[in-house]
Amino acid sequence: MLGIEDPKIWIAYILCFLSAIGCIIYGVLNWNKGQDEEVC
């Protein structure tokens, strides 16, 4: 996979990108949430 034989490395490589993409998706989905319940 991706020129890396050890799955413990390519899984980490892919997880890095997936977790960053996950952060983007979370940010988009929750873009307007959390405003009303708590105003400082």
Partner 1 sequence: MAVSTPILGIAVVIYMMVVFYLGWLGYKQTKDTDDYMLAGRKINPLVLALSYGAAFISTSAIIGFGGYAGAFGMGVLWLVFMNIFVGIFIAFVLFGSRTRRMGVNLGAVTFPELVGRRFQSRFIQGFSGALITIFMPLYAGSVLIGGARFMETALNIEYNSAVLILAVIVAAYVITGGLIAVMYTDALQGGLMFIGMAILFVLTYARLGGVVEAHQSLTNMAHLVPENLAAIGHTGWTSMPAFGSPVWWTLFSTIILGVGIGVLAQPQLAVRFMTVRNTRSLNRAVLSGGPFILMMAGVAYIVGALSNVYFLDTRGMISLEAAGGNIDVIMPEYINSAMPDYFVIFFLLTLLAAAMSTLSSQFHTMGTAIGHDFYREFIMRGKIGKTITITRAGIATTILISVVLAYILPIGIIARATAIFFGLCAAAFLPMYTGALFWKRMNRQGATASLLVGTFASLFWLTFVHAKEATALGISQALFGVDTILTGTWTVVDPILVATPLAFLTAIIVSLATEPDSQEHLEKCYSRKNSE
CB contact at 8 A, 20 and 26 = no
CB of 24 to partner 1, least distance (A): 5
CB of 26 to partner 1, least distance (A): 5
CB neighbourhood size of 11 (10 A) = 13
Instruction: Map tokens 């960053």 to a residue.
Output: 20
For residues 33 and 22, give the distance between their C-alpha atoms in angstroms, rounded to a whole number.
17
Binding mask 15-34 for partner 1 (x = CB under 8 A): xxx-xxxxxx-xxx-xxxxx
Residues that bind partner 1 (CB under 8 A): 2-6, 8-9, 12-13, 15-17, 19-24, 26-28, 30-35, 37-40
